[in-house]
Chains A and B, each alone.
Chain A
């Protein structure tokens, strides 16, 4: 059998699979915790009222002021420019080029992790939002009126963001993963993709309005915005404030297509985690099947990976839908559509847990590269040494295998508990009768246990 070149773009070190004993402990804790969640649930919703209270006025005025917004916007646009320039003019080696690590690690993972803790950090730095607002301001100055926009088709909701999210991860792990042994994605492709995406976003903003598109269609805003709902920092009416953790998730999924966004997030991480472990042999045999039908190797590989990624999307969505369908059978249940939207936010902690479990070590290692040689020598051509760190390397000793395992399993268990918490809370809103609410949660419990144990399983057979 041909060995498939599945190597990840930037990975020089891969995680060891979680040992069986830790897998068993993790799964056991999940089940025991779930049991207690059923037995000792609270009886009144606790997270539905977003109790937001403003932080100090001075702090708010400083952080949300116009100059601060303009400065953050400029930083965002500048960094996008650096990434595109490095991609176009820099080395072809993915690991030596600023563009890849910056886009796929620093931004994609970094904003997801830190937004969950500190609130919607991406919003002020979003280069497209900054450009869109600048164009809008210019238009107002010249034409003397606000730009007119088309009405956004309400039914479309966040579907463009869901598809965009899948497309972004596809570019990274399917298109980039199939270029040959350890080649990864060509930085040039990243730069071109960034330019094409920028043109698309700016066009959509011109059509539908900047904030409208950021809320619904702009992949990064929607994705990081989703995770930012978990934390306790938020901005309302231009003021920074504190809210109870998790509370802001309860109002997130009201736009159509939100379910697809969170499902796409779980599915794409699952696929990346499974392609070198759980699905390796299945992907291999599908690939062989395609080759036997006379399809060229590279096409066959991309086709196979695409199919499995879509299968992950379908599978994750199906498990959630089955849980929702199950809840419908409980006496006094609201409509299927209402339930489907109503419990989507309980998957956000699971999506974050998957992300932490699969990329935490990669993030820690690759950020060392980002802040040493990639910063000093962004083009990777050994012609610049801006900060004197161009010859530094990544120290892989900063995390032991045990530390990584505990973070991975811990993230999944915590995500599981938070997901159950949100689902239980929502059930109390839909079912006035506490016993019916509890009964409905057997179904969501099954969904959560399935996702968490699948996540643990992926870790235990990773890179096998």
Chain B
């Protein structure tokens, strides 16, 4: 029966380790949440969506998002606000929420809708089939 007790000890240690790891990551998510409720990840790129209460803008040049696919992150129940300014005439499609808006060449459209569906969604230029942003709505 020594084998069994060794195995149970090993299992106990593993469970404890995982539980500890979980507590650690819980703390980190709490600090994330206090850092900014309208968390818009800049993604380390200079041209990415602006921070600090301003409405993030996705800039489209030559039919592509400047600075790569932008990340927009919200919590359920918040108001999702962002703008798309494009140098080509296009239709902007928010998948899942299924919202469409036309943007004229050189113009800007703004989106403003409640975050009521949780998940990860594409924001796409419908004509070119080009993804310009990834919208994340956390519960």
| Interchain nearest-CB distance for A38 vs B (Å) | 7
Q: Are B3 and A24 in contact (CB under 8 A)?
A: no
A180 lies within 8 A of chain B by Cβ: yes
Q: Are B120 and A13 in contact (CB under 8 A)?
A: yes
* Interface residue ranges of B1-44 to A (CB < 8 Å): 3-4, 7-8, 11, 14-15, 18-19, 21-22, 25-26, 29
The segment from A15-23, A103-111, A230-238, A304-312 found at the interface with B is A15-23
Binary B-proximity of A9-37 (CB < 8 A = 1, otherwise 0): 00011111001110111011001101100
Q: Are B119 and A16 in contact (CB under 8 A)?
A: yes
A389 lies within 8 A of chain B by Cβ: no
- Whether A20 contacts B96 in the complex (CB less than 8 A), given A31-B15, A396-B117, A400-B139, comes out as no
The segment from B78-86, B103-111, B123-131 found at the interface with A is B123-131
* B96 partner, pick from A5, A13, A21, A35, beta carbons under 8 A: A13
B118 lies within 8 A of chain A by Cβ: yes
Binary A-proximity of B92-110 (CB < 8 A = 1, otherwise 0): 0001111000000000000
A residues near B19, Cβ cutoff 8 Å: 24, 28
Cα distance A312–B139 when bound, in Å?
32
Cα distance A121–B138 when bound, in Å?
38
B-side interface size class: 35 or more
Q: Are B116 and A397 in contact (CB under 8 A)?
A: yes
Q: Are A38 and B7 in contact (CB under 8 A)?
A: yes
A151 lies within 8 A of chain B by Cβ: no
Q: Are B7 and A181 in contact (CB under 8 A)?
A: no
Number of A-B contacts (CB under 8 A): 92
- Whether A20 contacts B29 in the complex (CB less than 8 A), given A14-B120, A183-B129, comes out as yes
Q: What residue of chain B has the Cβ atom nearest to residue A29's Cβ? A: B15
A interface residues, how many (CB within 8 angstroms): 36
Cα distance A396–B98 when bound, in Å?
10
A residues near B7, Cβ cutoff 8 Å: 35, 38, 442
Q: Are B129 and A396 in contact (CB under 8 A)?
A: no
Residues of A contacting B: mostly: helix
| Interchain nearest-CB distance for A90 vs B (Å) | 18
Binary B-proximity of A446-464 (CB < 8 A = 1, otherwise 0): 0000000000000000010
B residues near A39, Cβ cutoff 8 Å: 4, 8
A83 lies within 8 A of chain B by Cβ: no
Q: What residue of chain B has the Cβ atom nearest to residue A17's Cβ? A: B120
B residues near A5, Cβ cutoff 8 Å: 131
A243 lies within 8 A of chain B by Cβ: no
- Whether A3 contacts B26 in the complex (CB less than 8 A), given A14-B120, A24-B21, A35-B11, comes out as no
Interface centre among B19, B29, B117, B118 (most CB of A within 10 A): B118
Q: What residue of chain B has the Cβ atom nearest to residue A19's Cβ? A: B29
| Interchain nearest-CB distance for A434 vs B (Å) | 12
Cα distance A27–B15 when bound, in Å?
8
| Interchain nearest-CB distance for B124 vs A (Å) | 7
Q: Are B131 and A20 in contact (CB under 8 A)?
A: no
A335 lies within 8 A of chain B by Cβ: no
23 CB contacts below 8 A, A to B, read: A7-B122, A7-B131, A14-B119, A14-B121, A16-B119, A16-B120, A20-B26, A23-B22, A24-B21, A24-B22, A28-B18, A32-B15, A39-B8, A181-B130, A181-B131, A182-B131, A393-B98, A396-B96, A396-B119, A402-B139, A439-B3, A442-B7, A463-B120
A residues near B, CB below 8 A? 3, 5, 7, 12-16, 19-21, 23-25, 27-28, 31-32, 34-35, 38-39, 180-183, 393, 396-397, 400-402, 438-439, 442, 463
Q: Closest 3 CB pairs between A and B?
A: A24-B22, A20-B25, A401-B118
